[in-house]
Structure 1
Amino acid sequence: MGQPQESTTSDEPLAARLRELKERTGLSLAALATRTPYSKSAWHRYLTGTQRPPRSAVEALARLADADPGPVLTLWQTGAGLVSPSMEEERERPPRVRWRRLPTLALLALATATVAAFAVAGRHGPPATRNVMAAPRCHARSCQGALPDTSACARDAQIASSVSDAAYTVRLRYSPACGTVWSEVRMRSPHAREVSVRAGQNVLSAAYPAEDSAGYTSPMLAVPSARGVEACAEVDGKLACTGLDVEEPTGQ
């Protein structure tokens, strides 16, 4: 019995912060289950500290609470032993301290490099900045079941296939950086909907109530390409699907 108590105690700051975020969303456990890939009972365990949540669940709750995920992810990492308190104190020092210690020549060189970078960006756009911003938080199997916006996979996503009708548009999205696919539905009026993505026998889905204006994607599947994947959305009993057929081998 001592081991579970130690685990709960070490994660209590994280569980307490998760409960604060949950209260901030105004959502019930059942509503959280419909907005995320995690069940009502799973959320109960995460919020009471009896089970450690996955990183994607922490990010999803922060997104729903419209909160910066950084502080709560620090608690999550500290509880997992990934960040020690002493390391975190060094990380929290204001960066301007380092600027004050730079010699004058170094400051001049840095200013020159910054001006040159802006000049290049003005002519060719800011590819370096875009690459940094688009860095995904997971890849392939580590993304499985996560939502695309909480993992930054949506930033380089391509529309592999789509289908539209008068009420909504369904898209199959593919992220080369993450190696994942998911289904996305864009509504023209509020309706309850279920969004799913399928690759062979592997299927993931998420259901959203009509009053949820933000939820519109399925969880992600890890795949090498969008070929052979089907994206679907069911709205008021009407199902629409789109996808790419598996490429036929070129033969004799």
Structure 2
Amino acid sequence: MRAGAARTVRPCRPTAAPPAQADGPFVKELRDLKERTGLSLAALAARTPYSKSAWHRYLNGAQRPPGSAVEALARLAGADPAPVLALWESADRPPPEGVPSYGGDPSARPVWPAWPVRPRRLPLSALALIVVVAAVAVTLVAAGDSRTPGGRLTAASPRCRGASCQGQLPDVSSCDRDAQTKSTVRDASYAVRLEYSPSCGTAWAEVQVRPSAARVISVRSGRDVLSAAYPGDGSDGWASPMLAASSPEGVEACAQVDGKLACTGLDAQPAGER
């Protein structure tokens, strides 16, 4: 071979699978049937068309028997031939295409050469691109995760504003992300809050109560009243629809829970005293 010439290494071919595994379920069943007949190999040869040496190979798994021999052995044993014939058919199925069979012998598997793996170094241009992309991602996450002092996420741009938000729920329009609690009133079993979103220019009522309590949550400003009813079957629903408002002044939040009514305009507490 010339120096520097490419050399092709071909792995050895796997050995062919034996006709039947000596310790497989099919061969074991054959042996059990033979024991049940109580016949010797010579007696089996005398009562079937197959020789003594043939039966020896069948029962040792050295040769696959024909189906007629399997059926004859089962009938001599007084057994139903269907189960053992099913094993015989399954043992005859070839392995899936592209998957070599090794007959259950791990030593027959080919040994593939272990090629050394050399790490590749990325060029400086690729490393610089990765650094830039990571920096942009961090900047976007930081910009999108700004929070108000109350801990709510601040939306970069609300999905609606003013009159276009009227009647929508605050979480659907993302107006709740910069919501400010303007007043609150508490009952023994629940609390009602008046919430206001400066970015959306809307106000709404929220109630904190157990999920099983039936509730009607409403917000009003003058003659404008919007409300939402929740049956108390464990379903979510803690807010009224939003009311367009240039400021929270003159807006009242109410909730009727299990027949009891509480409104922030009737007995309100400043937000700092909650």
Say which structure is richer in helix.
1
The two structures have a TM-score, normalised by structure 1, of 0.48
**Higher Cα radius of gyration:** 2
Bigger RCO of structures 1 and 2 (CA < 8 A, at least 6 apart): 1
TM-score, L = length of structure 2: 0.44
